[in-house]
Every structure is written in C-alpha cells, then in structure tokens.
Structure 1
C-alpha cells in the first residue's frame, strides 16, 4: 500500500475537467492516490454534483464545502489536518490566489494549467512560492497533462537519441472547432473570458507544452500574428507563428479555435519534426483495445529515418511506429502524489516550464509580426 493511503486529498473546483478527467484518473490510480476526502465549489449545488460522481467512481463520499456557509467554506476545508494535498481546478484568474491560500495553509498543491493568466502574474506566483513555501517542504506543481503524455515523451526521447539526426525544422498545427453548443463554450468563465487569448490561452498552452517536451532545444524567439474570426470567441481565436530554437532549428506553430466546420479539424493537424536523417510525426488516432475490444485513443509516433550503406550513401527509409495510450492526467497526478508524499521529483509539473508555455501564447498574441525574445519575456516579468 502506498504512502498515499495515509493522507487525504481535496478537489477545489467542480467543473467539466474535474468530473471528466480528474475523477477518472483518481479511480484508475486507486491506492496509489490519497483518499478523496473533500470537494469545494463556490456553489453548494456544483460541489454536491461532484461529490455524487466521486461516490460512484471512487466508492467514497467526500465532504462538501462551498461559499454559501462560513462553517463549510474553503477556509474550513484548508484547516483540516487530515487533508495534505489539494487539486486546484478553478477558473484561470482565480487560481493564483487560491494556490497561495492553500500553500499558506500548509497544503501541497497541484493546479491546472495555465500557471497564471499571463507571464507577469505567473512569475510573481512562482517567486512567492520559492521565497515562502518551497523551503518548508511544500510541493507545488502545475497539471499540464500534455507534458506527461507518454506519446510526447517518447517523441522527445527519439529526437534526443538522434533517430532523425539533428532537428532542422518543425511544424505543429492544431485547428479546433468550437460551436456555441459546446460544453466547453457554455462554461461561463470561458464564454466571457477575463484573460488574454480566450481559448488560445486555455487550450493553447497544451500545444506549447507538447513542443517544449518534444523539441531537444529550448524555444527562444517567436514572431507571428493573432486574429479574431468568430465574433463570439473573442478576444482572439487564431495565431500563426514562426518559432526559433536555441540550436538554430525553426518551425511553424499554428493554433486556432475558429474552424468554420468540424471537418476542418481533421485536415492537417498534428506535428512533423524534420531532421538531417529523417522525420518524425505525432498525432492522435484510435486503435482497438485488445482487452475490451473497443476503441481507445493513442498518440502515434511514426519515425522515418535514412539508412546508409558502408560508404554513407543513403538507402531505403526505415520506419518505426510507436503507439502510446492517452493517459496524461493519470500520470501527472501519479507523479505529483509520489513527489508530495515520497519526496521524488521526475521533472513533471514544473511551474517554470508551465510559465514558458504561457509565454509562447502571450508572445503570439502580442507579436504583430515583430520578433519576441521568449527568454527575455520570462526573465523580465
């Protein structure tokens, strides 16, 4: 039995991702995760709905906390000595203050991406953590599930191993269709966002994180343009950029939530990374699960590399295919619980890494064709 069984965890926030991602991940982890002892939401109704789902999935009944009663508000939850860790799944602009509140109460924290609404507030949050709480042994991580996806990690490892030679250029395209009936759009804080970029920030940091994990060299400069093409997705829904990395490689990063039809999302999405001795592609697909017989989502990595004869002359292409199941939320939580409770650190969930993801989106929104130094943006904030 893991040490995780000796303490408790609380979920702060009861939205879609808490229900559809975090609860199933806790269910899969089983005894590797702490017992869910409490849930919090601003309203009693939403907190109760999350607690009911937790009772079904986890076979435990967490206590409900909400803002409608001072005796069961967030302060009361954070005062509990049997809860050592909290998962923060709240609207983007609320999260920094709640993260600090939980740390001040002596709790380990894993907070959903993005780390903050902008680079400046994210840098301030990181500085506060490092100055006041890190030395006390408190762990704070950012839950960026794309960073933990085995598919992106495998792609990065293949590049580090030189399977396509030196990376010379790359492209990532992620075009999404969001209509007004989408469950994601109907979330009130997404419908009228009070943070830069709207869906581009909320969803775009995933793509930035994937590039960060895969590319063997840090992204250093960005130039691009942002636009709004679907009025109700304000303030922006599309960015098209060129990115340069420290090793001299460069590439295209295109992101949009303003596709005119759902079929547009199936054309051209994915990542292609080209090297001196081949190329690598990464994309999501469905495969048959040999256990259940149903379909399951995987990240498929296809590596095409040049073979050479004894004289170094190129021969037929060699192909390697790697399928990795989509399980980033599960793995980011497993990693966090191991770090918080057992003192391990595998590098996942770094707030500074998540800040670099926000810097990519912020630079793209503000570039207007000018080159932006990403390292300078992060370091001066």
Structure 2
C-alpha cells in the first residue's frame, strides 16, 4: 500500500505489551500503515518505547502528558489509535479518542464485567450525542451483555445517519490465532461433542515481567481475568457454542498473587455437551506454560496444545480418529499480527468511505469480548458461593430483549431466552412440485438434510507417452480408501477426453488422500502411466449457489512422486452436497454396481424446497394515538400478522398515547412474498382489545438485509376506517 494511502496511527501506552508485542508485530506489516507517534503519561516511559520502535519506524515521534495527547487528538492525519493502557483507564481513553473521530483498537479491559458494560453504554451514548452535536440525556447503564447489545444496536442505528462513525474495536488475539481457526474447521470431523477439557498452567512468578503490575492486583481475580479471558475466547471460538451454566471451586494458594489463583470449573454448553476448565496461575511445571484445549467426539479427538517446533513458539493441533487415522499440524503464533492487520484494513476501508458508516470484523466486537469476561466472572462468582450453579451474565434473562438478537443468532435448542426457543411456524409455501421461476438457480435446498460428497471430475489428458509396443489404451482410475472408480478406456489415443464425474459419500470414506491414476489397459496387466495425489484436508468446499470447482491441468507424477517430462491431466476435486449440479450425473461409490446409463433412474434430478426468509419486525413506538375514551390513557400492544402467522408485543407498561416497546417479532416467509404484513395497534379495555389503527405493508417493499449494517427505522401511518389516526414507527 502506498504511504499516502496507508492510515497513520498512534499508540497510546508504552508498557511491556507495547514493547514486546505491539511494536514487533507491527514491524512485520510496515507496508499497511504509518506509525506516527507513541504516547505515555510520562516522558521517560514514552521515550523508552519510542527507542524500541525507531529500530523499525525511524520517523515515529514521542508524545507524553496532557499536551502530547492533545496534539495527537488534533492531528487530523492520525486516523487510527491503538489504546494499550492499564485496565481501568482504557475505556475512558477510548471514549475521548472516539469523540475526536479517531478509529480505536482497545485491548480488552479486565475491570469487572458490570463496570465494563456500564462504561460501554455510557461511552456509546455520549459518543453519539457528541457527534450529533446534541446534549446527552441521562440513561440507565447496562448490567448485562444483552442490555449492552441493546444499547449498541439502538445507538448504532441512530449514528448510522451521521457523516462519520468511527470504529471501536476490542482486541482478542486468540480469535485470530491460526491454530484455533483451523481447528474450528476440523471440529466437525470428530462428530457430536461428548466432552471438553481446557487446562491452563501458567507461570506467573517474580521472573514474569507482568508479575509486578499493580493494576492486576487491585480487584479480585486480577490475574485470572487477565490471563483466562484469552483461553475462554479460544474455547468459544473452537466449539462455536455458548456456555449456558457452570459451577466452580476456587482456591488461593500462592500468597504472592491476588486471590483466587486457582479455578476448577465444570461447565455445560447450550448444545448439552459438558466440560472442565482448570486454570492454575502459577504452576511449578517444568514447562514455561502448559495450555491445552481437548474436544472428545463420537468419531475422534481434537487437541490444541501450546508447543515449540524448530525454535518457533505456537500451537500443535492433533486429530485422532476412531478408525485409527491421525493428523497433526503446527501453527506459529500470529494472532496479534493478524488482528492488527484486520483493524488496519477496516480503518483503510473507513478512510476511503468517509461519508458512510464504518464496518469492523465481528471478532473485534465488544460483544464477543464481553462474553469472554462474563464466563470468567461467573466462575469467580460460583467459587465465592462454594460451587453454586451460575449462568454467565451474558446468558441471564433481562427485563428487555436484546435488539438484533434474532437476526444475529440462530434459535438454539436449550436456550432460556424466549426469542431463542423453538417456535412453530406454518408459512404459506409456494413452488412445491414445480421449478420456482423455471430456473434451476432459483431453487433453494434449505429444507433437505445435506449429504456430504467428495467430487472428482476427470476431463481429459494430453501428451501421454506411448509404451514400447506402440499401442496405448488409456483410462483413469480414481481411488479413495477402499473405493475405486474407473472411466472407460480409449484405444490408441494419446489425448483422450472422458468428462467423468465421481461422487464418493463422505460418511463412508476412511482415507486421508485421493489418488488419480492414468493407466494403459493391457490384456495381461494394466500399466500405470502416471498419477496425481491430493490430501483430503486441502480439498476445497463448494455448496450452491457456489459453482463447481473449475478443472485445471496437473502434470503427472511417477510412483516416486517425481514429475514426468510429458503427460498432463485436467481434473477438479471438491467437497459438496447432493445439491451440486454434478450430483445427478456422477458415478456414485454407494451405487458402484449401477452403470452410468442407470444413474438417472436412482438419483433425483432436483431437490425442491422454497427459498425461505426471516422477516424481522422491530416495533419501536407509536405517537398521537386516539383511544375511544379521550380522557383515558390506553394500555397498548401491537399485533403483527403475516399470512397465518400472528405475533404480539407485550402491553406497554406505561399507559400513554405515545407508547414505546422496542420489541422484535420474527416471521418465516417464502418467496415470492405474496402475503403482506398487517400491523395493528390495540388497546386493552378490561378483558377485551379495542382496535386503534392498522397499516398494511407489502413484503416487496421490505429491505433485504444481506450484511450487518443496521436498517433505518421508518414511520408508518395508522389507518382507522380510512382515516389517519396516528403514526407507528418500526423497521
């Protein structure tokens, strides 16, 4: 990236983490940014960090104190700031910089969770009104993740109308560690999860540079929170499921550390799987630190463990399957580098789109970090209560629902939230028994249970070398474990063309590689001309609407793996489902005895199902309602009907002609959206409900939300006997 386009950034903080992590990691990606300044409270601290940085960034300048901070704030060329301060100071500093229009990457704060949520909502509230040049009214602060997310969604929808909305990102490098990311891709191979073990043995003693830091000792579980939050993040990232409840027994053994310094916790995930989380802050293990995530499944075991290979620190990943097969990989640490890359990329994009709202990678969101901290807070609380069963604050029910939860999360079995519970829906479904729109591309496959297949398309070969007899009758043999598929052979042809597709059922595969051999058919013994071998772990996945993988040329190899001088084969290998275009015409490993001409009689050509959508109706408020009795304040609720589905909000707790709800109602609808939304406002009078007005919205005018950008709210007129009676606001 050219220096003129690269964002100019500053670092706020000059402590150990800045010197040992931030500066070295930034030095690995110098072409993505310009480091303009490093700030600290004291001149001495700032200069010590700048001295380290100037080895890589000779033009970085030193700033300190209030005057230096003010210079950074007023410097319009500095668009991004990394805030790396002591826990209790980071949120306040981030607020000040966000108000100045700077994009902020903040290290996760280890202050108590409720304080974090309160400061978060206060910050966003004041930031919005500051940018909008309005006076901020007083609002209650959030106590839970749900309340914080509700405030975030509300203020984000408001601030989306501003010309400049700065990025606020919270760093968590374990969500970017390659070992965790790649292990998450492997988790499906071990089948249903049975048990999870997380073991952390730290080495927080006087030789550790962080041991003497005072702020970690100023609240209960300082080192537990500061260290453990990363391993909880790794756990949540790996299993892709939230912790619903836990029980912990904590102890305080090493008196040089703040209590507690040991946690032994039993937890249960929302999917029903249970596990243990054991953390020792200062272990006497001969290893510097022992960190492990282990997931036991029905079909195998996946383990991620800290280690060293060829002098490089990182994580070893091992996958041991029930059938005896195993795989192992090693990934060097790069989480800090990758999260910095992501933040800088988001800042660069925001700088190019000055008049649009900014976007951040979800892994850098406050909600993710807050949920990590909430789990550790629950462990500390349970230990304080002698192992009492505790739900993390992020899972506790609140008086108001979290705005945006329905469209951001799938409804999960076992959740205590009403909006996550299973709901019976019966939308009008069209298109059954016909091709919707007459075009195969418009057919969805969402209602059919997916079956996984490994596809191999053999197209053609060229420049195949003849044997000594001068005749050459080539064919291709595809082998995956015990399964073998063969094309027809051509007589005396050096450039044959087959156009065969082979489909191997993933459920029955017991191999780690695919072998594609070109052979010469002979009366006595077929001779191998050349082959290509693919590792199954490297095979890409393609699922509609993605197209099948395009074939490409590969140079054939001999049995020793050396490239042949002549001879190439064109083919494609990919993972897919029965929805793939190649499925109905492919040779199938589970129907090997059926000839190619008979495949069409045993395989369905098309799996028909409608294209379904979620319709989210966010009922916010009404204004100027006219009840039947003018001197009576109405008790209002809103009823929304879509086809044969009907949902109601709660009755507004405050009697008013301007009631407020801010509730979400979710419907399932099928294309082509023939049924409208009928929104009715009703007044509870005794045991009856009186009609106050309604509006009808065709689904064709409802915007489709294909990303995480907020949908702006709108006012809609309510009608009563064709007379406008008031207005209702919703989106």
Q: CA deviation at 1:108?
A: 0.7
Report the equivalent of 2:73.
78
For 1:346-365, list aligned pairs within 5 A. Answer: 346-365=361-380
- Check conservation: 1:335, 1:348, Cα contact below 8 A: no
Where does structure 1 lack aligned partners over 5 or more consecutive residues? 289-294, 307-315
Deviations 1:305-330 (A, max 9, x none): 23xxxxxxxxx321121222210100
2:198 corresponds to 1:172: yes
The 2-side partners of 1:212 and 1:2 are apart by 37
The 2-side partners of 1:229 and 1:237 are apart by 7
Report the equivalent of 2:300.
278
TM-score (norm 2): 0.46
- Check conservation: 1:279, 1:304, Cα contact below 8 A: yes
- Check conservation: 2:191, 2:299, Cα contact below 8 A: yes
Q: CA deviation at 1:225?
A: 1.9
Q: CA deviation at 1:198?
A: 1.5
The 2-side partners of 1:71 and 1:123 are apart by 30
Deviations 1:271-297 (A, max 9, x none): 110111111000121112xxxxxx112
Report the equivalent of 2:27.
27
| Pairs aligned (count) | 354
**What secondary structure is seen at the aligned counterpart in 1 of 2:76?**
coil
- Check conservation: 1:54, 1:61, Cα contact below 8 A: no
**What secondary structure is seen at the aligned counterpart in 2 of 1:348?**
helix
Q: CA deviation at 1:152?
A: 0.7
The 1-side partners of 2:390 and 2:341 are apart by 36
Report the equivalent of 1:183.
209
- Check conservation: 2:167, 2:360, Cα contact below 8 A: no
Q: CA deviation at 1:127?
A: 2.6
Residues 130, 250 of structure 1: alpha-carbon distance in 2 compared, 3 angstrom cutoff: farther
Q: CA deviation at 1:137?
A: 2.3
The 1-side partners of 2:348 and 2:289 are apart by 42
Report the equivalent of 2:231.
207
**Counterpart selection for 1:376 from 392, 395, 412:** 395
Deviations 1:164-204 (A, max 9, x none): 001121000001122223211123334xx223312111111
- Check conservation: 1:228, 1:238, Cα contact below 8 A: yes
The 2-side partners of 1:214 and 1:342 are apart by 29
Q: CA deviation at 1:78?
A: 1.5
TM-score (norm 1): 0.87
Q: CA deviation at 1:377?
A: 4.9
Q: CA deviation at 1:247?
A: 0.5
**What secondary structure is seen at the aligned counterpart in 1 of 2:231?**
helix
For 1:207-356, list aligned pairs within 5 A. Answer: 207-259=231-283, 261-263=284-286, 269-288=291-310, 295-306=311-322, 316-343=323-350, 345-356=360-371
The 2-side partners of 1:300 and 1:346 are apart by 26
Where does structure 2 lack aligned partners over 5 or more consecutive residues? 129-155, 351-358, 401-731
Deviations 1:2-25 (A, max 9, x none): 688443111111111101111011
Q: CA deviation at 1:129?
A: 5.1
Residues 176, 153 of structure 1: alpha-carbon distance in 2 compared, 3 angstrom cutoff: same
The 1-side partners of 2:378 and 2:114 are apart by 12
Deviations 1:30-59 (A, max 9, x none): 112x2111111111101001111110123x
**What secondary structure is seen at the aligned counterpart in 2 of 1:57?**
coil
The 2-side partners of 1:333 and 1:224 are apart by 34
The 1-side partners of 2:342 and 2:192 are apart by 31
Deviations 1:205-236 (A, max 9, x none): 01111101101321121210222111120132
- Check conservation: 1:52, 1:61, Cα contact below 8 A: no
Q: CA deviation at 1:130?
A: 4.7
**What secondary structure is seen at the aligned counterpart in 1 of 2:27?**
helix
- Check conservation: 1:8, 1:82, Cα contact below 8 A: yes
**What secondary structure is seen at the aligned counterpart in 1 of 2:325?**
strand
Residues 165, 340 of structure 1: alpha-carbon distance in 2 compared, 3 angstrom cutoff: same
The 2-side partners of 1:173 and 1:189 are apart by 26
Report the equivalent of 1:125.
119
The 2-side partners of 1:128 and 1:100 are apart by 9
**What secondary structure is seen at the aligned counterpart in 2 of 1:214?**
helix
- Check conservation: 1:222, 1:241, Cα contact below 8 A: yes
Report the equivalent of 1:291.
none
**What secondary structure is seen at the aligned counterpart in 2 of 1:234?**
coil
- Check conservation: 1:4, 1:341, Cα contact below 8 A: no
Q: CA deviation at 1:158?
A: 1.3
Q: CA deviation at 1:71?
A: 3.0
Report the equivalent of 1:309.
none
The 1-side partners of 2:101 and 2:169 are apart by 15
- Structure with the higher strand share, 1 or 2: 2
Residues 364, 169 of structure 1: alpha-carbon distance in 2 compared, 3 angstrom cutoff: same
Report the equivalent of 1:100.
95
**What secondary structure is seen at the aligned counterpart in 1 of 2:111?**
coil
Residues 241, 81 of structure 1: alpha-carbon distance in 2 compared, 3 angstrom cutoff: same
2:184 corresponds to 1:156: yes
**What secondary structure is seen at the aligned counterpart in 2 of 1:372?**
coil
- Check conservation: 1:198, 1:237, Cα contact below 8 A: no
The 2-side partners of 1:178 and 1:21 are apart by 18
Higher alpha-carbon Rg:
2
Deviations 1:56-86 (A, max 9, x none): 123x23222222xx432x2332121111111
Report the equivalent of 1:312.
none
Q: CA deviation at 1:258?
A: 2.9
For 1:108-123, list aligned pairs within 5 A. Answer: 108-114=103-109, 116-123=110-117
